[in-house]
Structures are given as C-alpha cells and as structure tokens.
C-alpha cells in the first residue's frame, strides 16, 4: 500500500471502525444491558433484534463484512504499517500502542464469541437467549475472558473515536484534543460499566434484580 491509495484505505478503515462497527458495538452493549432487568427483559430485547426482517443479510452488511475489512486491514496496520509516524507524547504513545493490542485481542475475542453464540445457534445446538449466555458465562475463567474482551472493545472504540476526530480534521488544536481526551475517557468508563454490568447480570441475576 503506497501513497494516495494507502490514504484512502486508511480513511475507509477509520470510517468503518465508527460506522457501522462502533455504532453496532454501542447498540449491542445497550441490548445486553437489559439482562440487568432480568431474563424476561433480556429475551424480549434480544427477541426484537432476532425478529428483524432479513436479519442474516443485515448482519453481513452491517457487521461481518465491515468488521472483517476493519480487522484484516487492522492486522496489517498493527504489524506491517510504519508504527507511530507522528511524534506523540508519552500518554498518546501508550494509547496508540494499546489501540493496536486491543484490536488484536478483539479479533480473537469476537471470533470466539461469534462461534459460541451465532454459529452454535446456526448449527442448531443452542438458542440465542438469556439461558445461553448464563451457560457460557457460568465458567469463571470464561467470565473473566469476556470481561477482558468487553473492556478491550470499549477502550478500542473510545480511543479510536479520539484518533478518528484527529484523522478527519475535527479536533486539530491541542485544546480540542485535550477536551476530546476527557470526553472519550468518560465514554470509556460509561460503556465499560454498561458492558461489565450486563456480563455479570447473566451470572449473578439476584444481585441486579431485587
Ligand atoms: C468492536 C470492534 C471494533 C471497533 C468498534 C473498532 C473501532 C475502531 C475505531 C473507531 C478506530 C479509530 C480509527 C481512526 O484512527 O481513525 C479503530 C482503529 C484501529 N482498529 Fe479497530 N475496531 C474494532 C475491531 C478491530 C479489530 C478486530 C482489529 C484487528 C486488529 C482492529 C484494529 C485496529 C487498528 C490497528 C486501529 C488503528 C488504526 C491506526 O492507527 O491508523 N480493530 N478501530
């Protein structure tokens, strides 16, 4: 990848990370959070998504194809592309490195998660509902790995939004970038609480539902 072509590929990679993949992640975490209101509430929310017309078609267009593109090009960027071409401070350097590490963790985590849920359902081995997630997460090691996966995703999206705003020329001044760091920091905390609470609700429902 060189010159102008690389510029457009990186722009497409960046855009797909936010729309549709980032938007999907937020929607997915919010639907999962219905688990904190109990089995029935979760099954109803998940059932709404399951009932959407042309679901498999929608999933490929909105999730799998953009995510595969972002993931494969992400691996290339993380391992092959020149690292950190701009001079960054200590904090941003770390954020930049963790962005790449969480991307690689996400590739493995998402493949595993899709295998345990969507693929098992497609093979007729399980049904996507509260019970399925309770069975999966009742193993403490799996629960810990899921929480790590969720935190990787919330970090990767929040920090990714920070660099997205810089890349697309929206935050150019040091002040706007500092404000954006704080906003994305808050976003990371909020999304992480939503995601982790949802995961815990499948295993400790009594703690959440009175
Ligand atoms: C939940 C799934 C994912 C979401 C929501 C997501 C979102 C994002 C966002 C918003 C960005 C910032 C784009 C920019 O800098 O303009 C980004 C960057 C990045 N993503 Fe992802 N991503 C996901 C999965 C992955 C996966 C599976 C990989 C595979 C390695 C990956 C690798 C990368 C890399 C390497 C960057 C940095 C690009 C750069 O420095 O130019 N991402 N991602």
pLDDT digits (tens, 9 = 90+) for 108-122: 999 999 999 999 999
pLDDT at 210 over 80: no
Task: Read off the pLDDT band of 4 (50, 70, 90).
Answer: confident
Q: What is the DSSP string of the chain?
A: --HHHHHHHHHHHHHHHHTTHHHHHHHHHHHHHGGGG-HHHHHHHHHHHHTSTTHHHHHIIIIIHHHHHHHHHHHHHHHTSPS--S---HHHHHHHHHHHHHHHHHHHHHHHHHIIIIIHHHTTS--SSHHHHHHHHTSHHHHHHHHHHHHHHHHHHHHHHHHHHHHTTSS-SHHHHHHHHHHHHHHHHHHHHHHHHHHHHHH-HHHH--
| pLDDT beyond 70 at 168 | yes
pLDDT surpassing 90 at residue 134: yes
Report pLDDT digits (tens) over 7-44.
999 999 999 999 999 999 999 999 999 999 999 999 99
Mean pLDDT of the chain: 94
Q: How far is the CA of 206 from the centre of ligand 1 (A)?
A: 36
Q: CA-based angle 209:35:120, to the nearest 5? A: 140
For residue 18, which atom of ligand 1 is closest to its CA? 10
Indicate the pLDDT class of residue 2, thresholds 50, 70 and 90: low
How many A from CA of 122 to the centre of ligand 1?
28
Centre of ligand 1 to C-alpha 92, Å, is: 16
Confidence of residue 104 (pLDDT cuts 50, 70, 90): very high
pLDDT of residue 172: 97
Share of the chain above pLDDT 90, in %: 89
Examine the pLDDT at 71 and tell me if it is beyond 60. Answer: yes
Q: Identify the residue whose C-alpha is closest to ligand 1 atom 8.
A: 17
At 3 the pLDDT is 73
Cα-to-centroid distance, 103 and ligand 1 (Å): 6
Placement of tokens 């629960």 in the chain: 143
Q: Does residue 88 register a pLDDT over 90?
A: no
Q: Which residue's CA is minimally distant from atom 16 of ligand 1? A: 164
Q: What lines the ligand 1 site, CB under 6 Å?
A: 10, 14, 17-18, 21-22, 25, 70-71, 74-75, 77-78, 99-100, 103-104, 106-107, 153, 156-157, 160-161, 163-164, 167
Pick from 106, 100, 86: nearest CA to 22: 106
In a 13 Å sphere around the CA of 22, the CA atoms on its Cβ side amount to 20
CA of residue 81 to ligand 1 center, whole Å: 14
For the chain, report the end-to-end CA distance as a whole number of angstroms: 56
Burial-class residue 147 by CB neighbours within 10 Å (0-12, 13-18, 19+). Answer: middle
Give percent of the chain with pLDDT exceeding 70.
Answer: 95
pLDDT for 185 beyond 70: yes
The answer to whether residue 179 scores a pLDDT higher than 80 is yes
């Amino acid at each position: 990848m060189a010159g102008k072509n690389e510029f457009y590929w990186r722009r497409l990679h960046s855009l797909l990370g936010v729309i549709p993949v980032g938007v999907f992640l937020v929607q997915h975490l919010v639907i999962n959070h219905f688990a904190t209101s109990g089995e029935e509430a979760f099954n109803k929310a998940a059932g709404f998504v399951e009932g959407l017309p042309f679901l498999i078609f929608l999933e490929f267009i909105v999730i799998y194809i953009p995510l595969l593109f972002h993931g494969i090009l992400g691996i290339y960027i993380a391992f092959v592309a020149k690292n950190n071409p701009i001079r960054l401070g200590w904090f941003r350097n770390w954020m930049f490195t963790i962005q790449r590490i969480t991307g690689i963790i996400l590739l493995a985590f998402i493949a595993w998660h899709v295998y345990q849920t969507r693929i098992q359902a497609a093979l007729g081995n399980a049904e996507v509902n509260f019970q399925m997630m309770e069975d999966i997460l009742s193993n403490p090691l799996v629960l810990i790995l899921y929480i790590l996966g969720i935190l990787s995703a919330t970090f990767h999206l929040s920090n990714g939004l920070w660099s997205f705003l810089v890349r697309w020329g929206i935050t150019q001044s040091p002040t706007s970038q500092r404000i954006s760091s704080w906003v994305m920091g808050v976003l990371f905390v909020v999304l992480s609480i939503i995601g982790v609470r949802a995961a815990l609700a499948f295993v400790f429902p009594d703690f959440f539902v009175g």
